[in-house]
Amino acid sequence: MPSQAVIVGDSVFREGRGALQGYESFRESALLYDELLNNLDPFKGNCTLIPGRDTSAPGVDADTVMDAISDAVKKASAPEDTLLVVYIGHGIAWDDLHNGEVHLAMYGSRDGRPWSWLPYSSIRREMMRKHDGLRIVIADCCYSNFLHRQGGSVDDAPENSFAALDKANGTAVFTAVDPEGRDPKAWPKGCEKLSERMRRCTHFSGHFLQVLSDGSKTAGERLSLGDMRDGVVDEMRACKTPHPVGGLILRGLGDSVPFVQNALPDDKPRELPPRSTDEDWIRALRTGRRWPIKSLLEKPDQAGRVSLSLWTIPEAHENASRIDREANDAYRRDPGKYAMYWYVRDGLAA
């Protein structure tokens, strides 16, 4: 069966005491995810939008969301299938409830009433039923960085945490908030730096969808998880507005894992990422792509620093090992360069 995407996002919430504020950006984001993903492999024609485009329902309820995810799990059953769940809306976590578990807002959710929200653990349990293949969550909500805090290693992860997902297989989550940051608040308003269509979305989804729509000149036919993360983070930092910058949490995966079709047209030339500073090289090589490194080896001290840094990134170990091997060959007849490389590479340089 094909890969599946379930996209949840609405701007309608029940009125009355404790009512949540509805933002049009939630719905605009969901509609655009549905539009773009429905035209990109592996989700082409296999997206479920909640609520649908032609619905008169008053809002989204937990049963509808969970039924859709359950159905998607059944359809995306093959090891090569990807299961993607996208949520745009309000998120919250209560310190005194279920280890600070993240809860997601539905139509009837109200402030201060945890029982009216959809607990993340319900989604986790259903996604766990897909035992093989890639599982991805895009969490565009406040407290999305708590998905990281709820689980350290796989072995000691609380049962309701995101980390527990990869006890069966690899998972990834894109967060609207920096996973390593302390501020849990996402930004529902759009970014004026983006195109007219994208600025109607939330800040994070606007940038995410811009990268999804434009594609990448420095990626291949598929954007990897790392390509997507780097593109979104670079976009959000470059716009220089005071908003949180999102991130990527990986469990049992490297960020070189293919994610979605690169939307860049085939007739547009691809190009190598910039490679002059240490940071340029690390960014180019950290996702596991095999860019040429001949020019890097012209500077043995820089090559040593880059290799040393890449060895700290699990998904970049293959490239780090490749630099070491090619450095040995390149410097074999030049003792000075050979010594310089390994002196720096072994972390002995000041």
Same domain, 240 and 309: no
Same domain, 219 and 283: no
Comparing C-alpha atoms, which of 143, 133, 40 is closest to residue 87?
143
Same domain, 228 and 139: yes
Q: What is the pLDDT of residues 100-123, one digit of tens each?
A: 789 999 999 999 898 999 998 899
- Alpha helical stretches, state H, the chain: 24-37, 62-75, 120-127, 146-149, 203-214, 225-238, 278-285, 300-310, 317-330, 335-345
pLDDT at 157 over 50: no
- DSSP letters for 267-279: TSPP-PPP-SSHH
Q: What is the pLDDT of residue 350?
A: 61
Specify the 3-state DSSP secondary structure of 92: strand
Q: What is the mean pLDDT of residues 302-331?
A: 92
CA distance 327 to 311: 15
Residue 308 falls within a domain, yes or no? yes
Same domain, 243 and 187: yes
Lowest mean pLDDT among 65-69, 120-124, 304-308: 120-124
Counted domains in the chain: 2
Q: Is 175 within 8 Å of 214 (Cβ atoms)? A: no
**Cα-flanking dihedrals φ and ψ of residue 318, to 5°?**
-65, -40
314 token code pair: 């699990």
Surface-to-core class of residue 56, CB atoms within 10 Å of its CB (0-12 exposed, 13-18 middle, 19+ buried): exposed
Q: Is 311 within 8 Å of 317 (Cβ atoms)? A: yes
Q: What is the pLDDT of residues 225-238, one digit of tens each?
A: 988 998 898 888 88
**Cα-flanking dihedrals φ and ψ of residue 113, to 5°?**
-125, 85
Same domain, 292 and 206: no
Q: What is the pLDDT of residues 181-226, one digit of tens each?
A: 778 899 999 888 899 899 999 999 999 999 999 998 888 788 989 8
Residue 166 falls within a domain, yes or no? yes
Beta bridge partner(s), residue 173: 137, 249
CA distance 38 to 346: 48
Same domain, 256 and 285: no
Same domain, 118 and 184: yes
> What's the predicted TM-score (pTM) here?
0.80
Same domain, 139 and 48: yes
Range of the domain at 333: 278-345
Q: What is the pLDDT of residue 140?
A: 96
CATH number reported for the structural domain that contains residue 35 in this entry: 3.40.50.1460
CA distance 22 to 24: 7
Strand 4-9, strand 247-251: pairing: unpaired
Same domain, 215 and 136: yes
Q: Cis peptide leading into 244, omega within 30 of 0?
A: no
